[in-house]
Structure 1
Amino acid sequence: MNATLSKIDAGGRLIIPAQARKALSLESGGPVVLTLVDGELRVRSVASAMAELQTQASSFLSDDGASVSAFLTSRRAEAAKEQGGSIDTQDQAVATTTESDRGA
């Protein structure tokens, strides 16, 4: 199904044909996510939007998780130098545990 003609009623409601609702797993009365992209209105199920967000978050954490941990360790060392102390060994253990939990 590429394109379907529909109308917006006086109340601003748009009828989504049954075939499109079925293809998108949309239920009557169920929530949807509307996104404006390049002059188009995109309609997705909440489950689809959440799955995309989880994929993006997972990708971000796997790509940047190690660098975030390294940054935090470095920043803690700098802060310790500024205060004339050293990094708390518990902070080091937390950073190491966090990295091993991610499989780093």
Structure 2
Amino acid sequence: MNATLSKIDAGGRLIIPAQARKALHLEYGGPVVLTLVDGELRVRSVAAAMAELQTQTSSFLADDTASVNAFLTARRAEAARDEGKPGDKQEQVAASAKEADRGA
């Protein structure tokens, strides 16, 4: 649908032509979401707005999950390297205790 001329009545109501309402699946009395985008008024059904939010949330969660997985992989690799090194903290504590016993 191309641009259509419409009017705003004395009560501030905007008349949305039937063809546009049908294309947007807007029903009489149904809620809509109005958004100002770059100086333009955007009218969407609540269902369309929710679908967009769900898509954005899914993308965010996928990115977040990838970041968490990368972090966990790095931490596991670091832990594996640390396990193979001599001088584990428990060993250091035990060695310190032995030295303290010898000195007493």
TM-score tier (shorter): 0.5 to 0.7
Q: Distance in 1 between matches of 2:42 and 2:4?
A: 14
Q: Distance in 1 between matches of 2:68 and 2:28?
A: 43
- Paired residue for 1:34? 34
Q: What percent identity do the matched residue pairs reach? A: 86
- Paired residue for 1:50? 50
Other structure's SS at 2:14 match: coil
Structure 2: state its 5+ residue gaps: 76-104
- Paired residue for 2:21? 21
Large movers: runs of 4+ above 6 Å:
none
Other structure's SS at 1:9 match: coil
Other structure's SS at 2:60 match: helix
Matched to 2:47, the amino acid is A
Q: Distance in 1 between matches of 2:64 and 2:22?
A: 37
Q: Distance in 2 between matches of 1:27 and 1:12?
A: 19
Query: How many equivalent residue pairs?
Result: 72
Look at both structures and tell me which one has the larger radius of gyration over its CA atoms.
Answer: 2
Whose relative contact order is higher, 1 or 2, with alpha carbons under 8 Å and at least 6 apart? 1
- Paired residue for 1:5? 5
Matched to 2:46, the amino acid is V
Q: For 1:33-81, what per-residue CA distance to the aligned partner results, in whole angstroms no more than 9, with x for missing partners?
A: 001011100100110000000000001101112324648xx7xxxxxxx
TM-score, normalised with respect to structure 2:
0.64
TM-score, normalised with respect to structure 1:
0.64
Structure 1: state its 5+ residue gaps: 75-104
